């Protein structure tokens, strides 16, 4: 269910080359009576139950008796059912949280991100922070927020019940406004799954950052397309999973990992311990507290100075994009 992958962890102003566990995402194609019915992205457990449950809840079978055979080999499920006409009635419907229809899983068809963009880690912190305070999210608890940014300001923010819908909306806005995506990056609140990575790659957006996690397939895709994926952007922390070169960290201190890491929580504790070993006043706890306060102060000052340079002045303005949609050009 999970896979250990390399990543670069930024915490405060320290950088550690480390490992993190991400959830496994795999495609599963269901063929009913020899005909392709659907391809879904799932976690690779309980595949048989998934196929039966999916065919049942989509109305293809009414009970297990209608299944004449079911064979699953890696990413292919072959199903023979007794009422072959039913599959013909299935419509293509993409539900909330979906992008759907992308056919780039064939490696040779993967797009390549062509961009020289490099962004400051503080810009990423600031961007993710600025989209996290959505009123709608606070009141209903039921939406995802995606923002499109460039190095100067925020270009567009959209809120939607589906992550991919929200991403499609900012991409659509960028297209109608003739935005050059190679100079932009995306910040979002939801998980960066394979189709989020694909959509960014197709649009030639070089960086995607999120408060949430990412998946194994998203990382594989990003490594091939050149997309930079950043997960768990929270407070002073972030994990850079791919294409670390796009993130500038001039004031950050590299800290070598001291021992193998077993879990992300355990790792966080160890990072603190390593900090204790590495920082200049390690002799007593009082100076540790002092050191930490100082570090936090430095971080806040830099974040503020980043704002003062007006690179993010527009971020703090009102949101014109949510109330109306601009005319199509």
The residues in 274-293 that bind a copy of itself, with binding defined as CB under 8 A, are none
Active-site residue, selected from the candidate residues 98, 156, 228, 298: 98
Residues 144-173 that bind a copy of itself (CB under 8 A): 158-165, 167-173
Confirm or reject binding of residue 39 to a copy of itself (CB under 8 A). yes
Q: Which residue has the tokens 């998946």?
A: 215
Which of 79, 213, 227, 233 forms a contact with a copy of itself (CB under 8 A)? 213
In the bound state with a copy of itself, the residue whose beta carbon lies nearer, of 111 and 257, is 111
Rounded CA-CA distance 159/182 in Å is: 23
Catalytic residue flag (residue 98): yes
Which of 9, 14, 21, 246 forms a contact with a copy of itself (CB under 8 A)? 21
Q: Which residue has the tokens 């960066």?
A: 192
Q: What angle do CA 153, 7, 299 make, to 5 degrees?
A: 50
Cβ atoms of residues 203 and 49 within 8 Å: no
Rounded CA-CA distance 89/145 in Å is: 35
Task: Count CB-CB contacts under 10 A for residue 124.
Answer: 24
Confirm or reject binding of residue 202 to a copy of itself (CB under 8 A). yes
Question: 5 forms bridges with which residues in the sheet?
Answer: 20
In the bound state with a copy of itself, the residue whose beta carbon lies nearer, of 53 and 245, is 53
Q: Which residue has the tokens 């991403």?
A: 167
Which of 9, 47, 154, 246 forms a contact with a copy of itself (CB under 8 A)? 47
Confirm or reject binding of residue 99 to a copy of itself (CB under 8 A). yes
In the bound state with a copy of itself, the residue whose beta carbon lies nearer, of 94 and 301, is 94
Task: Count CB-CB contacts under 10 A for residue 34.
Answer: 9
Interface stretch with a copy of itself, choices 11-19, 21-29, 244-252, 280-288 (CB under 8 A): 21-29
Least Cβ distance, residue 60 to a copy of itself (angstroms): 8
Rounded CA-CA distance 225/197 in Å is: 9
Confirm or reject binding of residue 194 to a copy of itself (CB under 8 A). yes
Cβ atoms of residues 219 and 201 within 8 Å: no
Which of 7, 15, 32, 52 forms a contact with a copy of itself (CB under 8 A)? 52
- List active site positions: 98
């Amino acid at each position: 269910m999970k896979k250990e992958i390399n990543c670069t962890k930024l915490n405060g102003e320290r950088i550690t080359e480390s490992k993190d566990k991400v959830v496994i995402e795999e495609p599963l194609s269901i063929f009913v009576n020899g005909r392709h019915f659907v391809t879904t992205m799932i976690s690779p457990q309980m595949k048989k139950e998934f196929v039966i449950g999916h065919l049942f809840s989509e109305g293809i079978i009414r009970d297990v008796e209608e299944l004449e055979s079911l064979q699953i080999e890696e990413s292919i499920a072959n199903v023979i059912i007794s009422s072959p006409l039913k599959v013909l009635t299935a419509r293509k419907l993409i539900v909330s949280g979906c992008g759907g229809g992308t056919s780039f899983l064939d490696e040779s068809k993967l797009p390549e991100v062509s961009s020289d963009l490099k962004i400051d880690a503080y810009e990423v912190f600031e961007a993710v922070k600025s989209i996290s305070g959505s009123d709608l999210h606070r009141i209903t608890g039921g939406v995802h927020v995606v923002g499109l940014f460039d190095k100067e300001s925020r270009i567009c923010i959209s809120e939607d019940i589906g992550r991919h819908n929200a991403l499609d909306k900012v991409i659509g806005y960028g297209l109608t406004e003739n935005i050059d995506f190679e100079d932009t990056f995306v910040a979002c609140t939801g998980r960066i799954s394979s189709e989020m990575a694909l959509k960014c790659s197709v649009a030639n957006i070089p960086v995607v950052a999120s408060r949430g996690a990412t998946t194994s397939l998203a990382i594989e895709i990003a490594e091939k397309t050149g997309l930079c994926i950043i997960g768990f952007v929270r407070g002073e922390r972030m994990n850079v999973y791919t294409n670390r070169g796009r993130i500038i960290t001039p004031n950050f201190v590299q800290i070598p990992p001291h021992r193998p890491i077993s879990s992300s929580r355990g790792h966080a504790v160890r990072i603190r311990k390593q900090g204790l070993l590495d920082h200049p006043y390690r002799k007593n706890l009082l100076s540790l507290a002092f050191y930490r306060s100082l570090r936090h102060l430095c971080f806040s000052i830099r974040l503020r100075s980043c704002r003062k340079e007006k690179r993010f002045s527009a971020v703090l303005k009102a949101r014109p994009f949510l109330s109306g949609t601009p005319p199509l050009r």
